[in-house]
């Protein structure tokens, strides 16, 4: 099987099988297979545009999973200094940089918009003001080039990112953990997902950022322009994750839903007590900051790991994953945290599951994942050329797929002990 053929969706596989059934003799079947092989072996390229939150990204990828050109303008430093993401500020920064970012990606690919086969753009979910910037620019590009427009679901794009470089067959389990999202879902096909659970309040990346802010980590020169999650992970390497015992969230609720607000609040109260006990002002850095970071990071891991553990047991109970080749894909910005990856690997080892993570630089928001999701949709056989681009709109809130979290709750799966350290 050729490299791009392994990315073919089940929908397209069924279409091929159907053609083979009606094609008659072996000579006809050979012609059908040759036609499909030629289609998938022909080089195709997609331009992807991402502006769902605080990164302006664009990339060109081909159907063999190669990144031909990429550009990214990160707003992290601006938002760290502001103490959080302000949608109007993010929108204005997207407006200032999007044309240049898209052109840079095309230039690095030595292509123009007329050379690509389609333009993919994030339209859901995300910050409304930011999504609009990307969609408006994408519409301008397709009006100018006549190329089809492929709307992309941001979370599905994160989930499928691993398939660009790794052999990940459908169906597989995905844990998406970022600054804006936290969910567990089963990816059944390119655009067919079922949701097992999601955060009831905060996202883990948001919790990391707020605890980093409470600890004044941006006052340290090495962390002045990085996200709170990166700062905590870096300091945690020097700390003891068992120095302080933070509570495990939702222990009495047997679901795959998440909650980080309680963990965040407990950590904030603990930091305030430590500052008072040690006589440290609220603008200074606690002497035992590394232990606090390590303990908080461990608290996040424990909560994530127990939910993943239940999801694997639920999928086994309901036959949602293959018996002999189960895969967990972990993506999103927090998915680049090596301590969390290491802990989730232990869970996967316990349940004979393969853990696949995109490269850390592709875990955060980027144009590559949007372009690749567009390519997956293009290879699925869906015809986007007939869809009128002006009819495409953005949706700030949109589920990743069918919600079956109530079935997880009804299963009431009790978890065996789990050793992470």
Largest CA distance in the chain: 85
Other CB atoms closer than 10 Å to residue 196's CB: what's the count?
27
β-bridge mates for residue 71, sequence order: 58
Whole domain around residue 407: which residue ranges? 172-357+403-411
pLDDT at 136 over 60: yes
Residue 53 tokens read as: 């939150």
194 plus 335 within the same structural domain: yes
**pLDDT mean over 143-164:** 96
Percent of the chain with pLDDT over 90: 76
Structure token pair of residue 50: 């991402």
Nearest to 78 by CA among 225, 290, 200: 225
Residue 399 scores a pLDDT above 90? yes
pLDDT tens digits, one per residue of 273-311: 999 999 998 889 999 999 999 999 999 999 999 999 999
CB 246 within 8 A of CB 270: yes
The pLDDT of 176-185, averaged and rounded, is 93
Beta bridge partners, 187, equal 172, 193
Arithmetic mean of pLDDT, 180-205: 95
* pLDDT tier, 5 (very low <50, low <70, confident <90, very high otherwise): very low
pLDDT of residue 31: 55
pLDDT tops 80 at residue 86: yes
Q: Where are the alpha helices (DSSP H) in 5-66?
A: 10-22, 26-41
Whether the Cβ atoms of residue 356 and residue 138 lie closer than 8 Å to each other: no
Residues 177 and 322 in one domain: yes
pLDDT band at 419 (very low <50, low <70, confident <90, very high): very high
Q: Do 335 and 266 sit in the same domain of this protein?
A: yes
252 and 275 inside one domain: yes
- Does residue 128 share a domain with residue 183? no
Instruction: State residue 85's pLDDT score.
Output: 80
Q: List Cα–Cα distances, 1 to 14, 25, 42, in angstroms.
A: 16, 22, 14
- The answer to whether residue 64 is domain-embedded is yes
What distances in angstroms separate CA 325 from CA 139, 152, 167, 256, one per listed residue?
A: 41, 28, 11, 22
Same-domain pairing of 111 and 195: no
Q: Does 393 map to a domain?
A: no
Same domain, 183 and 153: no
Residue 39 clears pLDDT 70, i.e. is over it: no
Q: Are residues 246 and 156 in the same domain?
A: no
Over residues 241-263, the pLDDT tens digits come to 999 988 888 888 999 999 999 99
Query: Residues 85, 401, 397, 134: what is their CA dihedral angle, to the nearest 10 degrees?
Result: 70
Residue 281: Cβ-neighbour burial (10 angstroms; 0-12, 13-18, 19+) = exposed
The answer as to whether 188 is a domain residue is yes
Is the separation of the CB atoms in 256 and 310 below 8 Å? yes
**Model pLDDT, residue 296:** 97
Instruction: Identify the pLDDT of residue 213.
Output: 94
Residue 16 scores a pLDDT above 60: no
Q: Which of the four pLDDT bands, split at 50, 70 and 90, describes residue 2? A: very low
> What six digits make up the tokens of 233?
């992970």
Tell me what the mean pLDDT of segment 2-30 comes to: 51
Do 246 and 280 lie in one domain? The reply is yes
Residue 114 shares a structural domain with residue 159 = yes
Q: For 192, phi and psi rounded to 5 degrees?
A: -125, 105
How confident is the model over 342-358, as pLDDT tens digits?
999 999 999 999 999 99
pLDDT score at 36: 52
- What local confidence, expressed as pLDDT, does residue 1 receive? 40
Residue 22 pLDDT grade (very low, low, confident, very high; cuts 50, 70, 90) = very low
SS (H, E, C) 156-214: HHHHHHHHHCCCCCCCEEEEEECCCCEEEEEEEECCEEEEEEEECCCCHHHHHHHHHHH
Structurally, the chain folds into a number of domains equal to 2
pTM of the model: 0.88
Q: In what order do the strands lie in the sheet with 172-177?
A: 353-356, 326-331, 172-177, 182-189, 192-198, 402-403
pLDDT tens readout for residues 321-341: 999 899 999 999 999 999 999
Rounded to whole angstroms, the Cα distance separating 37 from 268 reads 58
Which domain CATH number covers 100?
Answer: 3.30.420.40
Residues 351 and 327 in one domain: yes
Whether residues 121 and 265 share a domain: the answer is no
């Amino acid at each position: 099987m050729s490299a791009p053929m392994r990315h073919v969706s089940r929908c397209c596989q069924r279409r091929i099988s159907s053609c083979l059934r009606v094609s008659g003799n072996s000579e006809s079947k050979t012609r059908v297979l040759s036609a499909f092989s030629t289609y998938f072996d022909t080089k195709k390229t997609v331009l992807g545009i991402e502006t769902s939150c605080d990164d302006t990204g664009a990339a060109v990828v081909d159907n063999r999973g190669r990144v031909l050109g990429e550009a990214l303008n990160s707003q992290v430093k601006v938002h760290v200094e502001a103490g959080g993401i302000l949608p109007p500020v993010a929108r204005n920064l997207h407006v200032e940089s999007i044309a240049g970012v898209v052109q840079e990606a095309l230039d690095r690919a030595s292509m123009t918009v007329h050379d690509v086969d389609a333009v993919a753009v994030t339209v859901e979910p995300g910050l409304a003001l930011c999504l609009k910037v990307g969609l408006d620019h994408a519409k301008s590009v397709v009006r100018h080039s006549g190329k089809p427009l492929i709307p992309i679901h941001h979370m599905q794009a994160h989930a499928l990112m691993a398939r660009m470089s790794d052999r990940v067959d459908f169906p597989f389990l995905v844990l998406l953990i970022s600054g804006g999202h936290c969910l567990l879902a089963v990816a059944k096909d390119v655009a067919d997902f079922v949701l097992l659970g999601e955060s009831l309040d905060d996202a883990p990346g948001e919790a990391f950022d707020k605890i980093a802010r409470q600890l004044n980590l941006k006052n340290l020169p090495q962390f002045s322009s990085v996200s709170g999650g990166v700062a905590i992970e870096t300091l945690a390497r020097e700390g003891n994750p068992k120095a302080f015992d933070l509570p495990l969230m939702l222990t009495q609720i047997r679901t795959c839903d998440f909650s980080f607000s309680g963990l965040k609040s407990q950590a904030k109260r603990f930091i305030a007590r430590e500052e008072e006990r040690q006589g440290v002002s609220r603008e200074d850095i606690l002497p035992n900051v590394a232990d606090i970071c390590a303990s908080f990071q461990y608290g996040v891991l424990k909560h994530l790991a127990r939910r993943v553990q239940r999801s694997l047991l639920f999928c086994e109970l309901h036959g949602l994953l293959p018996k002999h080749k189960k895969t967990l894909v972990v993506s999103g910005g927090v998915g680049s945290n090596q301590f969390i990856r290491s802990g989730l690997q232990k869970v996967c080892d316990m349940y004979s599951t393969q853990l696949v993570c995109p490269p850390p630089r592709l875990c955060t928001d980027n144009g590559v994942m949007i372009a690749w999701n567009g390519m997956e949709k293009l290879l699925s056989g869906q015809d986007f050329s007939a869809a009128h681009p002006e009819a495409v709109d953005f949706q700030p809130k949109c589920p990743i797929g069918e919600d079956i979290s109530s079935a997880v709750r009804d299963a009431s799966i009790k978890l065996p002990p789990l050793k992470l350290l």
